[in-house]
Amino acid sequence: MDLNGQKLAETLCMYLVMAAALLGFAVGFLRHDFSQMMAVFTGGVGLVAAATVPDWPVFNRHPIKWLPPKEATEQQQQRQKGGSSGRKKKTASWCNLWGMF
């Protein structure tokens, strides 16, 4: 999902959840039933989640173009091979910092 797709998904989610809330409120108000209101709202939120959470192709219309990878430097290649420069890196711990043990 690209950045424009994220913005589109967020906007759709915001408006569709508001529509589900209004529809749920209207159903609950007209039928005087809280459980039906919650059922309509929960179903609406479920549909909104199904429409906005997966990475649908509509959310990937402007793909990001990445830079080509750089060649590894000599030092990075040495690290990858497991070679060291002869010195062991000293690690700090709480015991060393406070002079304990």
CA dihedral 54, 69, 84, 94 (to 10 degrees): -40
Residue 89: what pLDDT?
A: 59
Give the separation between CA 82 and CA 79, rounded to whole angstroms: 5
Residue 79: what pLDDT?
A: 73
Contact status, residue 60 vs residue 5, Cβ threshold 8 Å: yes
| pTM score, whole prediction | 0.62
* Structure-block tokens of residue 31: 């039928």
| Tens digits of residue pLDDT in 7-63 | 999 999 999 999 999 999 999 999 999 999 999 999 999 999 999 999 889 989 988
- Whether the pLDDT of residue 85 is over 60: the answer is no
Residue 21: what pLDDT?
A: 97
